[in-house]
Amino acid sequence: MRRLALAGVIANAVIMSTGAAVRLSASGLGCPSWPRCSSADIVASHNAGQTLANTWIEFGNRLLNFPLVLIAALVFVAAWRYGDRPLTRLAAVQPLGVVAQAVLGGIVVLTKLNPVWVSLHFLLSCSIVAFSVLLLARCSVFAGEPARREFRVLSGVLAGVTAVMLAAGTVVTGTGPLAGHADTPRYHLPLAGVTQFHADIAWLIGGLALSLAVGLRVSGAAAAARQAALIVLGGVFLQGAIGYAQYFSHLPAGLVWLHVTGAVTLWVCVLWMFFTLGAGYRPVRERSSLVTDVPDAEHVTSRR
């Protein structure tokens, strides 16, 4: 169950990264129709009216939904067979999320990459990733005692601010030159202003992450909690370095893609730290407690 839950986290994070690659390569309208690639063809072809490379990039990202569906189904079936109702409800978020993403993805294409729908599409993916990390946490056992309450609250604040940063990032991308296609509508906002707001949130996240890392170290928190905080702190400053590098180099698509992928990875790490510190975490019953009166091998042999 833990392996499948981890696969769900990875699959949902990867599809977000590849989706960003579609948009940043100006392939957002590589397939201008949905669910068909174009009005004439189901799959990628010259009839889409875009370059063949852009068409295949967009269509290839659609194909990645098939392994995502398979993993989501396996996660749900495994949780259902495990026999724990809260776990099953959490696992159901992934297949339901795939359906919701397909619907939103269709709206994104049919509205010619309207930035509002693109932002909602990205944020829905962030929500599915959050539930996937929660599912993995429910299947895991954390060593040591939960961190002190003030650190758990601070980690929750950090997770909330990180979610705001992700939302602000979608506005920056929807305002700037890499919104998916040359003809894509944009947010009518000053790019410098929304970028500065995004950076201000990142500095706040850096301060929160530094406070957590130092506080957990001084308070003698469990090693897993300290390690998770250090990973988040390192990820925040790496993201900051990439963010400033992309801004001062006039937003090259490759660096922007690294920044988006790093943001998704940081989101996973922040959530994992939140659960590692023990905030809102309740472990699932051990598998052995779900099986009663099962004779061991020696007893079966003696009866035979």
Look up the domain containing 158 and give its range: 145-286
128 torsion bin: left (phi>0), alpha (psi -120 to 50), beta (else): alpha
What pLDDT does 42 receive? Answer: 76
What pLDDT does 144 receive? Answer: 67
Band of pLDDT at residue 143, cut at 50, 70 and 90? low
What pLDDT does 77 receive? Answer: 95
Domain final residue, candidates 114, 140, 166: 140
Give the list of residues 6+ apart from residue 292 with CB closer than 8 angstroms, or none.
Answer: none
Tell me the C-alpha distance between 193 and 156, whole Å.
27
Q: Could you tell me if residue 212 is inside a domain? A: yes
Tell how far CA 47 is from the center of its chain.
Answer: 33
Q: Is the Cβ–Cβ distance between 147 and 280 less than 8 Å?
A: no
User: 35-39, 59-63, 90-94 — which is least confidently predicted?
Assistant: 35-39
- pLDDT of 294 > 50? The answer is no
What pLDDT does 245 receive? Answer: 93
Domain identity same for 3 and 124: yes
Domain final residue, candidates 140, 168, 185: 140
Q: Could you tell me if residue 129 is inside a domain? A: yes
pLDDT mean over 62-79:
92
What pLDDT does 47 receive? Answer: 61
What pLDDT does 91 receive? Answer: 94
Domain identity same for 155 and 247: yes
Global pTM reads: 0.86
> What's the mean pLDDT when you consider all of the chain?
85
Among 98-112, 200-214, 270-284, the range with the most confident prediction by mean pLDDT is 200-214
Cβ density class 81-93: b for 16+ within 10 Å, e for less: ebebeebbebbbb
User: 59-63, 91-95, 152-156 — which is least confidently predicted?
Assistant: 59-63
Q: Could you tell me if residue 7 is inside a domain? A: yes
Q: Is the Cβ–Cβ distance between 1 and 79 less than 8 Å?
A: yes
Domain identity same for 134 and 163: no
Q: Is the Cβ–Cβ distance between 16 and 129 less than 8 Å?
A: yes
Q: Could you tell me if residue 208 is inside a domain? A: yes
Q: Could you tell me if residue 24 is inside a domain? A: yes
User: 11-15, 84-88, 263-267 — which is least confidently predicted?
Assistant: 84-88
**Nearest CA among 254, 114, 257, 104 for reference residue 183:** 114
Question: ∠136-141-146 over CA atoms, to 5°?
Answer: 105
Give the list of residues 6+ apart from residue 268 with CB closer than 8 angstroms, or none.
Answer: 9, 13, 129, 133
Domain identity same for 173 and 134: no
pLDDT mean over 141-168:
88
**Nearest CA among 296, 291, 302, 293 for reference residue 82:** 291
**Nearest CA among 139, 146, 169 for reference residue 283:** 139
Mapped onto helix, strand or coil, the DSSP state of residue 84 is coil
Tell me the C-alpha distance between 208 and 220, whole Å.
18
**Nearest CA among 198, 131, 132, 120 for reference residue 162:** 198
- pLDDT of 283 > 80? The answer is no
Residue type, 245: A
Domain identity same for 185 and 84: no
Domain identity same for 213 and 105: no
Task: Work out how many domains the chain is built from and give that number.
Answer: 2
Percent of all residues in the chain with a pLDDT value above 90, rounded to a whole number:
52
Query: What digits encode the pLDDT tens for the residues 7-29?
Result: 999 999 999 999 888 888 887 77
What pLDDT does 282 receive? Answer: 47
What pLDDT does 184 receive? Answer: 81
Q: What is the DSSP letter of 130?
A: H
237 against 186, higher pLDDT: 237
What pLDDT does 301 receive? Answer: 42
Q: Is the Cβ–Cβ distance between 272 and 228 less than 8 Å?
A: yes
Q: Could you tell me if residue 40 is inside a domain? A: yes
Tell me the C-alpha distance between 275 and 142, whole Å.
9
Domain identity same for 153 and 169: yes
Domain identity same for 116 and 153: no
Domain identity same for 149 and 63: no
**Nearest CA among 122, 97, 82, 86 for reference residue 8:** 97
- DSSP characters for 39-91? SS-SS--GGGSS-HHHHHHHHHHHHTHHHHHHHHHHHHHHHHHHT-HHHHHHH
What pLDDT does 49 receive? Answer: 62
Domain final residue, candidates 140, 163, 195: 140
- pLDDT of 64 > 60? The answer is yes
Domain identity same for 171 and 87: no
Q: Could you tell me if residue 293 is inside a domain? A: no
Domain identity same for 124 and 93: yes
Q: Is the Cβ–Cβ distance between 15 and 65 less than 8 Å?
A: yes
Domain identity same for 113 and 149: no
What are the tokens at 22? 């579609």
Q: Is the Cβ–Cβ distance between 138 and 164 less than 8 Å?
A: no
Q: Could you tell me if residue 80 is inside a domain? A: yes
What pLDDT does 291 receive? Answer: 39
Would you say how long the chain is, in residues? 304
**Nearest CA among 146, 157, 155 for reference residue 274:** 155
142 against 9, higher pLDDT: 9
pLDDT mean over 113-123:
92
16 against 177, higher pLDDT: 16
